[in-house]
Every structure is written in structure tokens, then in C-alpha cells.
Structure 1
Amino acid sequence: MAVAYSISPGSLALSRSVLDRAADRRRDTEWLEKVWASPDTQVAVVAKDKLVVTAERTALKLVSPTEAPEGIRIFLGIDREAGAGQTADGRAVFAVLVEGEPDESYAGLREIGGILDDREAGIAVNVVGLSNWHGVHTHCANCGEHTEVVEAGHVRECPTCGAHHFPRSDPAIIVLVTDDHDRALLGRNPNWPPGRFSTLAGFVEPGESLEAAVRREVLEESGVVVGNDVYYAGSQPWPLPSSLMLGFYAVATEFDIEVDADEIVDARWFSRDDLRALIEEGSMALPGNISISRRLIEGWYGAELTGSW
């Protein structure tokens, strides 16, 4: 059974990027110091999972290296379309990770991710993921020694045992399941208030294919059985703290719902008319506009929907 639904290109707010990450430059300390000394270089300032933004809170506030505070310095890449003329390559972009709690000059991805342009969205997602990784990988998992930041912020090295630790993204599937009446299966987490529903999701386990993860998670959370019709729809980084969301559409073969009452306390089949009516009367809210879950739902629905968490 073919699934005709899709996520429109460019609609995933956190999947946009224009920077060349230029990984070959991460070990070139002479070049890195040279471009850091250039006033054309731009720097994003990050505390935990939030970034410094403009006063209007509609864009990142990118500063020059001389204006940047002290902290872990990360080379993010080169904007080859910047036209700054600092090098033949383009403009270098860095981030500085600062300690302490972010104040009101900072904003998180949930607040601004959907209004940033492609360039800034890519910068924000990259550096928030790296910031979260650095925050929890200060010590070597092999021997427990404090690690050192190397390769322009993309590796942590243990000075005692020599182990190298690299940033990781945890793969998680997220899926909109339909039944034989083309209704969508949506569920509610116990931590959400009544009326909040979303697609089902879960982490991929070791040795498990993505399709197998879809079938297992749907069965575990809702009791619904998914057959062989599992179709990839798109992906989106979700660095809160370190996930890569892999979106799917799938078709159920057994439709009775029995929630696990742990991760999902309520799950239902919704027709398009059901969904629209509940949203219009204000008794149902969908995931936010920056989420891939929202795009999966709208892909099935066939149009944009109003209202979000």
C-alpha cells in the first residue's frame, strides 16, 4: 500500500543550513588563529542550550572575535556566500560556549528556531547540540580523567589514556500511523495537559533498523500493529539535548488501541474532520511549528493547521 503523504521541502525549521562545516580546517591551528583575528569573522555566544539574540529577539546576535566573551571556542564553518572578502573561501563563523545561566539576552530554539533564516538556523542547531554535548562530556568515559577540548571544539581528548570522544546524535523515530480508513493515530504523554496530542516517537535501540524501531515503538506505546508499509519522510536534528528525529509514515494492520500508560496515557484515531473540529473548538493542540511531528501531521492532513502548544 503506497503512502502519498510527504513533508514539503524546506518546511523543517531545524533542518536548514548554508554553512560549509569545513571539517578539514579543524586541525589547522594556524589558519584558525588567523581567521579568529579577522574583524569579518562572526561569533555566536551560547550558554547551555540558549543563544544571544538581538533586542527584537528575531535573529542571532553575531559578534566579532574582539567582542566575544571567554569560553570554549568552536569553529562552526565557512559562509562561502558571505562576500566578506576575508579569505578566498568566505567568512569564518565560530561560537563561544560560556559558563553560567543564560539571562534575558538569550533565547532557545523553541522560541526562535522557526523565525531564523536558513543560515542562522543551521548555526543555532549546530552549536546548541555541541554545547549540550560539551556540558555532559567533561570527563573520560574510559578512565574518568577530565578531558581537553581539541580540534576546534569537535573532539574531547583524554590526557591520561589518550581516548578521543566525539559528539553523537541519538537516532529517534517519529511516525504518523494511518488505519484502513485513513485516520491518523495520535497520542498524549502523561506529562502533557489534556488536549495535547502528537505523533508517536521513540529511540532506536542497538542493532535495530529504523523500520523495526517504528513497529516496536508503535506497538509498545499504543498496542497498534504496523505491517510492512513503513515509509521514510524526512529528518530533523533536535539537539535538546542530542536527538536526530527520523520521520516516517506507516500503515497499521491491526487497529485496536491499548496504551502502555507509561509513555502514552491516551491514544486515538483521528479523521481529518475530527482533527479540524477539535482544533477549531479549542479542545486540541498540536505540536509546535518547528517540530517534525507537526509537519508529519500536516503532510497527512494536506494543508497547514492552526494552533500549537
Structure 2
Amino acid sequence: MTNSNPSPETLLDRQCEQRSEPGYLETVLESGTRRVVIFHRGKALMNGSSLGYFAPATLPSEPPAGTTYVYLAKALAGHGLPVGTDLVLQVLPYDAGDLTWVPAGTEFAGYRDVASALTAGDVEVFVEAQAVANWHATHTHCPRCGTLTESLSSGWMRRCGQDGSEHFPRTDPAVIVAIVGPDDRILLANNFAWAENKYSTVAGFVEAGESSEQAAVREIAEEVGVVLDSLSYVGSQAWPFPRSLMLGFMGYTNSSVSTPDNVEVRATRWFSREELQAEVLSGSAGIPGRLSIARELVERWYGGRITEPGDVVEPAELVAPGAAV
């Protein structure tokens, strides 16, 4: 199977150098051609099934007090906008009050609720916007002295007015591993936070002083009691919960025994390709959605697309295609 890394080719020009110039964001905010992405309490304002890109004229001239603005990027393609359109994130305060001003036909929704219907362009903007919105919401005060910080560099830096320290959005590396046993079955885990029939790959954060490979081996041993004999890096995906960079691996083990930790992992199961496809189709087992790197890892092992209920397929597609190449 060809590696179809779920992180798409960039459809945005983030203007990383230009946005730090004094007055850059203010100039963009004066432009009537900009488009605004709105977040409130970790959810984006959707326009039907698409991420909303709102013209300034459709929004109140005076936003709620405490609103934060962040320059996101210039749109390149995939957003239904002219190439070069400036995208600005408007993060409403938690206690924004009456939101009846939002345009008709719109509603706030979380990423997991709408991801399957989003275009690649919408996904890239949504993930960037949610990650930086989460950061602003949790870094309002200086970690050194506790003084309120101010947003600068077009929303990509916060500075303490007391000690002058500068703070930037953080990205937390995490590993995610599809475990393949000696008989070529895949080991999937069920987390206590999920329904009992949902299974996925195993993931965890990289700790200070660890390489991603060391973290992968440690997390697999801790959560499912499996010793990995080798690893193969597949690719990465930005994941906005809360601001992670998922580093995907295929992990191989000579063991066919697993032991859930009963802290995070409720149960584990080894699946053959035929078993997994049959249980997904019957609804007795659920797997990650197609926009996640977890699904990419599972389908890389499977050797093709796993069919779900409701998919329109040819009978030949129901036959497990065999190991990935």
C-alpha cells in the first residue's frame, strides 16, 4: 500500500516571517477582503457542513470584550476562496454572552463531530485554529510571575508586561503505533474513555529526554504489555487535542500475548484482516475515522481501504487485500 500520509500537502501560506512585523495583523483587520474563522469554547462556527469563512460585513463591528485575534494564513487552494485571501481567527471569550448575532444557518461544532465532512483545506485551517485557540485559552498568565500576558506577533506570541518574557504556542509530540504480531495479525486496544466495541492503535506522549522511538517502545510496554522488536516510521499528523503532533509508527513484535494496563486500556484484541473487516461491516467493532493517522496505520497494515457500513463497494473490495508493501 502506498503511504497516503493523512496530513495533506499544505494549502496555506502562514506568512511566518511577515506576521511578526509590527502592525501586520492590524493592517489585515482593516481589509474588507479578509475572511474570519470564529472559535468559541473549543468549537468552530460552521456554515452548513463546511468551516465558516465569514466576510467582515456579516459580523458585528464591535466583538465581545476579551476577543483574541490571530493571523492564520493566506489561502492557497481548497477553501472556495480567491487565492491569497487572508484568514483571521477570532477567538471569543469563554463568557462571550449572547451569541444571537452569528449568521443564520450557522452553528458551533467540534472537530470530531464534523471532520468526516470537511475538505482537506478546511481540515488544515480547523486544526491550526483549534491548536492556537487552545494555547491562548490556557496561557493568559505568565508562567514565571503570574502576570497577565498580552497577545503580540499577530497572535503567535504572548508577552508578560511585568518581566518581559515571551511565550510561544507549544506543540506536544506524541507517538502512535500499530502493533503487528508474528502471525501478521494487528493488536488494537479499547480505551476506558470509549465505547466497549471501539478499537484503535496505542498512543502516548513523548517524555522529556526521550526519542520518539524510545517513547513508542515504553508506551506499548506500559499500556498493552508488549515488547516491540522493531519500528518503522510512517508519518505525522497535527492533532488539536490539545496541540499534539502525532508521530506514526508500525511496530513489530515476536510476542502474541498482550496485557491491558487496566488504567487507560480496558481490553486488547488481535485481529486478522478478515476478522477486522467482517466486524467493522457488522458493526461489532469500531475503528478510527478516515481523517486520523490511526486509521492510516491500520489500513497500511490491512493493505487497502477498510469498508464501513454505508460504503458503496464492489464485492471484490470485501476481500482482504493482504499485507501492505
**TM-score higher than 0.5:** yes
1:60 maps onto 2:51 in alignment: yes
Shift of residue 288, structure 1, vs aligned partner: 2.1
RMSD: 2.2
| Equivalent residues of 2:24, 2:154 under 8 A apart | no
| Equivalent residues of 2:182, 2:255 under 8 A apart | no
Q: What is the distance in 1 between the residues matched to 2:233 and 2:35?
A: 36
Shift of residue 254, structure 1, vs aligned partner: 2.8
| Equivalent residues of 1:25, 1:32 under 8 A apart | no
Q: Partner residue of 1:273?
A: 274
Q: Residue 222 of structure 2 is aligned with which of 196, 201, 220? A: 220
Q: Residue 184 of structure 2 is aligned with which of 178, 182, 185? A: 182
Q: What is the distance in 1 between the residues matched to 2:95 and 2:283?
A: 36
Q: Which structure 1 segments of 5+ residues have no match? A: none
1:192-226 Cα offsets, whole Å, 9 max, x none, are 22211111111111111111111111111111110
Q: Which structure 2 segments of 5+ residues have no match? A: 100-105, 310-325
Q: Partner residue of 1:247?
A: 248
Q: Partner residue of 1:236?
A: 237
Identical residues among aligned pairs (%): 36
Q: Partner residue of 2:94?
A: 100
1:75 maps onto 2:68 in alignment: no
**TM-score normalized by the length of structure 2:** 0.84
Higher mean C-alpha displacement, 148-157 vs 105-114: 105-114
| Equivalent residues of 1:188, 1:265 under 8 A apart | yes
Q: What is the distance in 2 between the residues matched to 1:27 and 1:287?
A: 38
Q: Partner residue of 2:152?
A: 150
| Equivalent residues of 1:6, 1:300 under 8 A apart | no
Report the count of equivalent residues.
Answer: 294
| CA distance 1:172–1:73, shift in 2 (3 Å) | same
Q: What is the distance in 1 between the residues matched to 2:265 and 2:9?
A: 31
1:133-190 Cα offsets, whole Å, 9 max, x none, are 1111111111111111111111110000111111111111111011111110111112
Shift of residue 66, structure 1, vs aligned partner: 4.2
Report the residue type matching 2:293 in the other structure: I
| Equivalent residues of 1:233, 1:247 under 8 A apart | yes
Stretches (4+) displaced over 3 A: 14-17, 29-32, 65-69, 80-85, 100-104
Shift of residue 68, structure 1, vs aligned partner: 4.1
Q: What is the distance in 2 between the residues matched to 1:288 and 1:263?
A: 20
